[in-house]
Structure 1
Amino acid sequence: MNTQEIRDSIRAFLTSFFPNLDVTDDQDIFALGFVNSLFAMQLVLFVEKKLGVSLDNEDLDIDNFRSIDAITRLIESKSVVKADA
Protein backbone atom coordinates (compact mmCIF):
# COMPACT_ATOMS: atom_id res chain seq x y z
CA MET A 1 0.00 0.00 0.00
CA ASN A 2 1.47 3.37 -0.96
CA THR A 3 1.33 6.57 1.09
CA GLN A 4 -1.74 7.99 -0.68
CA GLU A 5 -3.65 4.72 -0.32
CA ILE A 6 -2.88 4.69 3.41
CA ARG A 7 -4.09 8.30 3.76
CA ASP A 8 -7.24 7.51 1.76
CA SER A 9 -7.99 4.49 3.98
CA ILE A 10 -7.56 6.54 7.16
CA ARG A 11 -9.72 9.36 5.78
CA ALA A 12 -12.43 6.86 4.76
CA PHE A 13 -12.37 5.34 8.25
CA LEU A 14 -12.65 8.76 9.89
CA THR A 15 -15.47 9.91 7.62
CA SER A 16 -17.41 6.69 8.27
CA PHE A 17 -17.78 7.96 11.85
CA PHE A 18 -17.83 11.69 11.08
CA PRO A 19 -19.51 12.14 7.66
CA ASN A 20 -19.05 15.92 7.64
CA LEU A 21 -15.37 15.72 8.54
CA ASP A 22 -13.29 18.07 6.45
CA VAL A 23 -9.79 17.85 7.86
CA THR A 24 -6.40 18.26 6.24
CA ASP A 25 -3.80 15.55 6.57
CA ASP A 26 -1.86 17.52 9.17
CA GLN A 27 -4.74 18.72 11.38
CA ASP A 28 -4.88 17.43 14.95
CA ILE A 29 -8.09 15.37 15.17
CA PHE A 30 -7.84 15.27 18.96
CA ALA A 31 -7.65 19.07 19.22
CA LEU A 32 -10.61 19.39 16.85
CA GLY A 33 -12.68 17.36 19.33
CA PHE A 34 -13.37 14.39 17.07
CA VAL A 35 -11.60 11.79 19.18
CA ASN A 36 -12.47 10.47 22.62
CA SER A 37 -10.88 7.50 24.39
CA LEU A 38 -13.30 4.96 22.90
CA PHE A 39 -12.76 6.23 19.37
CA ALA A 40 -8.99 6.22 19.95
CA MET A 41 -9.21 2.48 20.65
CA GLN A 42 -11.30 1.99 17.49
CA LEU A 43 -8.61 3.85 15.56
CA VAL A 44 -5.91 1.54 16.97
CA LEU A 45 -7.96 -1.53 16.04
CA PHE A 46 -8.49 -0.14 12.53
CA VAL A 47 -4.74 0.28 12.06
CA GLU A 48 -4.06 -3.24 13.29
CA LYS A 49 -6.92 -5.13 11.65
CA LYS A 50 -7.68 -3.27 8.43
CA LEU A 51 -4.21 -2.00 7.60
CA GLY A 52 -2.41 -5.09 8.90
CA VAL A 53 0.05 -3.35 11.21
CA SER A 54 1.11 -4.86 14.53
CA LEU A 55 1.44 -2.14 17.14
CA ASP A 56 3.58 -2.39 20.26
CA ASN A 57 2.82 -0.65 23.56
CA GLU A 58 5.31 2.12 22.75
CA ASP A 59 3.41 2.80 19.49
CA LEU A 60 0.28 3.71 21.45
CA ASP A 61 1.53 7.26 22.01
CA ILE A 62 -1.18 9.85 21.31
CA ASP A 63 1.21 11.72 19.01
CA ASN A 64 1.15 8.75 16.61
CA PHE A 65 -2.61 9.20 16.14
CA ARG A 66 -3.09 13.00 16.16
CA SER A 67 -3.42 13.42 12.41
CA ILE A 68 -3.74 11.51 9.18
CA ASP A 69 -0.06 12.30 8.52
CA ALA A 70 0.99 10.97 11.94
CA ILE A 71 -0.96 7.74 11.50
CA THR A 72 0.47 7.34 8.00
CA ARG A 73 4.04 7.79 9.30
CA LEU A 74 3.38 5.20 12.02
CA ILE A 75 2.01 2.68 9.52
CA GLU A 76 4.88 3.25 7.10
CA SER A 77 7.50 2.92 9.86
CA LYS A 78 5.94 -0.33 11.08
CA SER A 79 5.62 -1.66 7.54
CA VAL A 80 9.32 -1.01 6.86
CA VAL A 81 10.28 -2.77 10.09
CA LYS A 82 7.99 -5.70 9.24
CA ALA A 83 9.40 -5.95 5.72
CA ASP A 84 12.98 -5.86 7.05
CA ALA A 85 12.33 -8.49 9.73
Structure 2
Amino acid sequence: MNTIRDTIRQQLEDNLLYGKGDLTDDASLLEAGLIDSTGVLELVAFLESRFGIKVEDTDIVPANFDSVAGLVAYVQSRLRDAPARAAMADHAD
Protein backbone atom coordinates (compact mmCIF):
# COMPACT_ATOMS: atom_id res chain seq x y z
CA MET A 1 0.00 0.00 0.00
CA ASN A 2 1.42 3.35 -1.04
CA THR A 3 1.48 6.12 1.50
CA ILE A 4 0.75 9.75 0.65
CA ARG A 5 4.50 10.37 0.80
CA ASP A 6 5.27 7.47 -1.55
CA THR A 7 2.60 8.59 -4.04
CA ILE A 8 3.86 12.19 -4.08
CA ARG A 9 7.51 11.14 -4.33
CA GLN A 10 6.70 8.82 -7.23
CA GLN A 11 4.88 11.61 -9.07
CA LEU A 12 7.80 13.99 -8.57
CA GLU A 13 10.37 11.39 -9.56
CA ASP A 14 8.45 10.43 -12.69
CA ASN A 15 7.61 13.96 -13.81
CA LEU A 16 10.39 16.19 -12.45
CA LEU A 17 13.41 13.99 -11.89
CA TYR A 18 12.62 11.52 -14.66
CA GLY A 19 14.06 8.72 -12.55
CA LYS A 20 17.36 10.52 -11.98
CA GLY A 21 18.75 12.08 -8.87
CA ASP A 22 17.89 11.91 -5.24
CA LEU A 23 15.35 14.13 -3.56
CA THR A 24 15.13 14.46 0.20
CA ASP A 25 11.77 15.16 1.79
CA ASP A 26 12.87 18.62 2.93
CA ALA A 27 14.66 19.70 -0.26
CA SER A 28 13.26 22.85 -1.88
CA LEU A 29 11.78 22.03 -5.27
CA LEU A 30 12.03 25.71 -6.26
CA GLU A 31 15.64 26.21 -5.16
CA ALA A 32 16.66 22.99 -6.90
CA GLY A 33 15.05 24.30 -10.09
CA LEU A 34 12.80 21.25 -10.28
CA ILE A 35 9.47 23.04 -10.46
CA ASP A 36 8.14 26.25 -11.97
CA SER A 37 4.69 27.81 -12.07
CA THR A 38 3.49 25.39 -14.75
CA GLY A 39 4.82 22.48 -12.73
CA VAL A 40 2.94 23.73 -9.66
CA LEU A 41 -0.30 23.79 -11.66
CA GLU A 42 0.33 20.25 -12.87
CA LEU A 43 1.04 19.19 -9.30
CA VAL A 44 -2.21 20.81 -8.12
CA ALA A 45 -4.14 18.87 -10.77
CA PHE A 46 -2.42 15.64 -9.71
CA LEU A 47 -3.20 16.17 -6.02
CA GLU A 48 -6.83 16.99 -6.71
CA SER A 49 -7.25 13.98 -8.97
CA ARG A 50 -5.29 11.44 -6.95
CA PHE A 51 -6.44 12.40 -3.45
CA GLY A 52 -9.87 13.84 -4.20
CA ILE A 53 -9.12 17.17 -2.56
CA LYS A 54 -9.76 20.74 -3.66
CA VAL A 55 -6.65 22.92 -3.65
CA GLU A 56 -7.65 26.52 -3.02
CA ASP A 57 -5.68 29.29 -4.73
CA THR A 58 -4.76 30.69 -1.31
CA ASP A 59 -3.17 27.33 -0.42
CA ILE A 60 -0.65 27.48 -3.26
CA VAL A 61 2.23 28.83 -1.21
CA PRO A 62 5.81 27.63 -0.70
CA ALA A 63 5.03 26.22 2.75
CA ASN A 64 2.66 23.73 1.09
CA PHE A 65 4.26 23.15 -2.32
CA ASP A 66 8.03 23.59 -2.03
CA SER A 67 9.00 20.17 -0.66
CA VAL A 68 7.81 16.61 -0.34
CA ALA A 69 7.34 17.15 3.40
CA GLY A 70 5.24 20.28 2.79
CA LEU A 71 3.11 18.51 0.18
CA VAL A 72 2.50 15.54 2.46
CA ALA A 73 1.50 17.77 5.39
CA TYR A 74 -0.81 19.78 3.13
CA VAL A 75 -2.56 16.71 1.68
CA GLN A 76 -2.94 15.19 5.14
CA SER A 77 -4.53 18.40 6.45
CA ARG A 78 -6.94 18.61 3.50
CA LEU A 79 -7.96 14.96 3.91
CA ARG A 80 -8.47 15.49 7.64
CA ASP A 81 -10.62 18.58 7.01
CA ALA A 82 -12.66 17.03 4.18
CA PRO A 83 -15.48 15.57 6.35
CA ALA A 84 -16.01 18.90 8.13
CA ARG A 85 -16.13 20.81 4.83
CA ALA A 86 -18.59 18.29 3.38
CA ALA A 87 -20.86 18.61 6.40
CA MET A 88 -20.83 22.42 6.16
CA ALA A 89 -21.67 22.23 2.45
CA ASP A 90 -24.64 19.92 3.18
CA HIS A 91 -26.05 22.41 5.67
CA ALA A 92 -25.55 25.42 3.39
CA ASP A 93 -28.52 24.46 1.18
**Structure 2 match to 1:14:** 12
Identical positions, percent: 28
Deviation at 1:54, TM superposition (A): 1.0
- The residue type paired with residue 65 of structure 1 is F
Matching residue of 1:48: 48
**Pairwise CA RMSD of aligned residues?**
1.7
Count of equivalent residues: 83
The answer for unaligned runs of 5 or more in structure 1 is none
Q: Which residue of 2 aligns with 1:23?
A: 23
Structure 1 residue 83 displacement after superposition: 2.6
**How does the TM-score come out when normalised to structure 2?**
0.80
Decide which structure has the larger Cα Rg and report it: 2
TM-score normalized with structure 1 length: 0.87
Bigger shift: residues 64-73 or 49-58: 49-58
